Chain A
Amino acid sequence: MNFNFTQDQLDFQDAISSMLRTEVTADSIRARWQNESGIDSAFMQQAHDLGLNSMLIPESLGGLGLTAVDFILLAEACGEVALPEPLVESVMVTTPSLVDILDQGLGNADVQKVIDGVLAGDVRVALGHTINPCINYADSADWFLLPDGDGVYLLPKEAVTLEAKTSVDPSRRLFSASFAASDAYLVADGEAGANLQRATLNRGALASAAQLVGLSRGMLQQSVSYTSDREQFGRAIGANQAVKHLVADVAVQVEYAKPVIYRAAYTVGVSPSRADFAVSHAKSAAGRAGLLASRHCMQVFGAMGYTWECDLQIWAKRAWALAREWGDEGFHTNRIHEWLLRKNALLGPEYTFGRGSLTDRAKAG
């Protein structure tokens, strides 16, 4: 057992983090609110050039063949700068779903074509799931992967009707999508379709969990710096224990959410449709940390944190949105207790990291 990341993984995170910090500033995010597409194309090109789009595509298909564990720290880093574009969703959720379809020998000629387009960096795919009422940045997608019943459909944008919605988070560009479910676009159906949707939910929840942890870290940094600068009663407000404790409580929850997310990333990488338990744990821990971070950090900013001008709102509003997307805390804790209270639940100390092989053997023998 080894819970640590490899030096390669850490180095790559460092490189991407520093690129994100220079390229994705609060000002550049506000600039996106004003521009037509909400996309910073130069940034997206840079991310593509660094190989992000091909990371989780197998080598046999022309990608880098890495796993969710390799990407999870980068997802966190994207959250930390509150990146508006759905890069994490696209790399960690949509593309792996397309690959799954091919792997299982499902789909049609379009699937391969779309994956090639993603590798080349000139095709963007948006993905829908019944748990989310809307799709973020759907207006800039060329293709859509959408569910209807157990079926999953891959549609060109011409076959999809979008209706714009407004989010509380000005960085999010939400649309509801509708389409006519025609066999021509069907890429998975029946049990295979249902399994795919289940895997997608787990990947999605993991993607938002990782970003929530990043967002919380971003808010923590802003709070530490604001409370060190702002003075009341002749000293920094951060000198007061009441203020310190608010911030420290967030740090504790964030740190404790991390290993849970890393563990879930591992399971999602190995078997996404059987990762419910690990992912639900990760999403509820991260959602809780994200909501606490927005609440406490906003509190330590005083009235300043309540203004449009204060950048904290960019992070706090995203955390509010992501804490709900892909299932809120209630949804995920329900999944956990359903799992725990099943008749044949595998409970006991030996199951901490999956199947306790000894017990299985004993039972079998």
Chain B
Amino acid sequence: MKLAFTAADEQFREEVADWLNDNLRDEFTDIRYRGGPGDEHRFVDERKAWERRLADGRWTCIGWPEAWGGRAASIEQQVIFHEEYARAGGPGRMGHIGDTLTGPTLLAFGSEHQKAKYLPPIRDGMAFWSQGYSEPGAGSDLAAIRTKAVQDEISGQWKITGQKVWTSLAHESDFVFVLARVDRDSSRHHGLGFFLVALDQPGVTIRPINQLTGTAEFNEVYFDDAVCDAEDIVGAPGDGWKVAMGLLGFERGVSTLGQQMLFQTELDEIIRIAKANGASRDPDIRQRIAEAHIGLKTMRYNSMRMLSGREDGSLSREAMIYKLYWSSWHRNLGKLAMDVLGPDAELIESGSYELNKLQSLFLFTRADTIYGGTNQIQRNLIAERALGMPKEPRGQGK
């Protein structure tokens, strides 16, 4: 165990801080601290432009191998990058899904053709991705998906038909990765394929879904004979589940480091408001601020422990507890934010239904315990997979 950064790491930190200081200004001043969870629909064009600026500085996809334009940054360096990015008020990353989900998945499971075709535009901040897993009948029970992909025997091209739902930011994206059934007689996690699909085509219809925040960050995505080239299925037909689960592993890995930094800025903001409006004199609020701090530090130490010594971004078993831990912590933070605001928590500053940052935080944390596997499903996984407890009886999956 050695809990310190090296001199080289500290030099890297300086490099990141300097670059951000030189670039996150002028036309990008307005997007500082914007576009985080609950605010993702804001400043989309500006944030896409910011991705290109990041790319110019080689600050997108820093964990990728150098051959694909990354920096092969160590875990420590990635931690440092996220810390400095948050400290500078770096905006919510439009390229997040491509950088941390599509990229690592293609690097692990993709063909050379797929890497050459899809990685450079992600790396350059030119292509944005969304995640097409959930369907109306397949939420917690992901293996129940019914969207199907049929291959043309001559051209080899796939035609995809079905409906995805809750697809975050599909309306701002260029591509979606789709989990679909390639074998019509298959069931559950057998007979699935993992497809890379362009959204801008006649067979795809995207309908935003309004959220209780009054904004629309997620969508229904309808596929009606949407086309996908023979080369654009990741892994073999039938390997879809394996690829999809591999991707979920990345979702719980390094990509979470940036999220914790965001949590830190939120907590700092809550503390600032509590001091300003006098809520910090309330003994109950003081206790809860301390608890929030303790919870966040604990989360951080555990993440570092999880990632330690795993340069490939793979995870140790402790990773299974992470989603449940952070979503519950964040939900409590949202409640604390509202209690610190006091009677004003209910009031929306602008005339239209546009929530302020802490209100969005509160409402958004209500989704944290749902997406990416609900808290209940996480507990089942911990009990059944990690601890080996007897499995709860399930119905006959359709």
Q: Which residues of A contact B343 (CB under 8 A)?
A: 131-133, 324-325, 328
Stretch at the interface among B42-50, B65-73, B116-124, B208-216: B208-216
Complex CA gap A169/B352 in Å reads 12
Q: Would you list 13 pairs from A and B whose C-beta atoms are within 8 A, ordered by A residue?
A: A166-B348, A166-B351, A168-B359, A232-B140, A234-B394, A234-B398, A241-B392, A302-B370, A306-B366, A309-B210, A324-B338, A325-B343, A330-B285
- A302-B374, A306-B366 in contact; A168/B346 too (CB < 8 A)? yes
Complex CA gap A334/B352 in Å reads 35
Q: Mark A95-128, 1 if CB is under 8 A from B, else 0.
A: 0000000000000000000000000000000000
Q: Mark B209-230, 1 if CB is under 8 A from A, else 0.
A: 1111010001000000000000
A184 lies within 8 A of chain B by Cβ: no
Least distance between B224 CB and chain A CB atoms (Å): 23
Whether B369 contacts A235 by the Cβ 8 Å rule is no
Tell me which of A165, A169, A174, A242 contacts B379 (CB under 8 A). Answer: A242
Q: Which residues of B contact A234 (CB under 8 A)?
A: 141, 394-398
Given pairs A306-B367, A309-B210, A324-B345, 5 additional interface contacts (CB within 8 A): A165-B348, A231-B137, A240-B392, A308-B210, A324-B338
Among residues of A, the one whose C-beta sits closest to the C-beta of B218 is A303
Q: Which residues of B contact A324 (CB under 8 A)?
A: 338, 342-343, 345-346
- A166-B351, A168-B348, A168-B355 in contact; A299/B369 too (CB < 8 A)? yes
Q: Which residues of B contact A241 (CB under 8 A)?
A: 392
Whether B395 contacts A303 by the Cβ 8 Å rule is no
- A233-B397, A234-B395, A308-B212 in contact; A303/B139 too (CB < 8 A)? yes
B144 lies within 8 A of chain A by Cβ: yes
Whether A306 contacts B212 by the Cβ 8 Å rule is yes
Whether B211 contacts A306 by the Cβ 8 Å rule is yes
B194 lies within 8 A of chain A by Cβ: no
A9 lies within 8 A of chain B by Cβ: no
Q: Which residues of A contact B23 (CB under 8 A)?
A: none
Among residues of A, the one whose C-beta sits closest to the C-beta of B364 is A306
- Seen from chain A, the residues whose Cβ lies within 8 Å of a Cβ on chain B are 131-134, 164-170, 172, 174, 231-235, 237, 239-243, 246, 291, 295, 298-299, 302-303, 305-310, 313, 316-317, 320-321, 324-325, 328, 330, 333
Whether B347 contacts A232 by the Cβ 8 Å rule is no
Complex CA gap A328/B379 in Å reads 32
B19 lies within 8 A of chain A by Cβ: no
- Which of A132, A243, A299 is packed against the most chain B CB atoms within 10 Å? A299
Complex CA gap A334/B139 in Å reads 43
Whether A232 contacts B370 by the Cβ 8 Å rule is no
Whether B396 contacts A170 by the Cβ 8 Å rule is no
Q: Which residues of B contact A320 (CB under 8 A)?
A: 338, 345-346
Interface residues of B in 120-161 (CB under 8 A from A): 134, 137, 139-141, 144
Least distance between A300 CB and chain B CB atoms (Å): 9
Tell me which of A167, A235, A243, A298 contacts B395 (CB under 8 A). Answer: A235
B301 lies within 8 A of chain A by Cβ: no
Tell me which of A133, A235, A302 contacts B347 (CB under 8 A). Answer: A133
Complex CA gap A333/B218 in Å reads 40
Complex CA gap A263/B165 in Å reads 48
Whether B353 contacts A170 by the Cβ 8 Å rule is yes
Tell me which of A167, A235, A240 contacts B346 (CB under 8 A). Answer: A167
Complex CA gap A303/B137 in Å reads 12
Whether A307 contacts B212 by the Cβ 8 Å rule is yes
- A235-B395, A328-B339, A328-B342 in contact; A303/B376 too (CB < 8 A)? no
B185 lies within 8 A of chain A by Cβ: no
Whether A330 contacts B284 by the Cβ 8 Å rule is yes
Q: Which residues of A contact B344 (CB under 8 A)?
A: 133
Tell me which of A166, A235, A237, A303 contacts B370 (CB under 8 A). Answer: A303
Among residues of A, the one whose C-beta sits closest to the C-beta of B143 is A233
B371 lies within 8 A of chain A by Cβ: yes
Complex CA gap A302/B165 in Å reads 12
Whether A174 contacts B347 by the Cβ 8 Å rule is yes
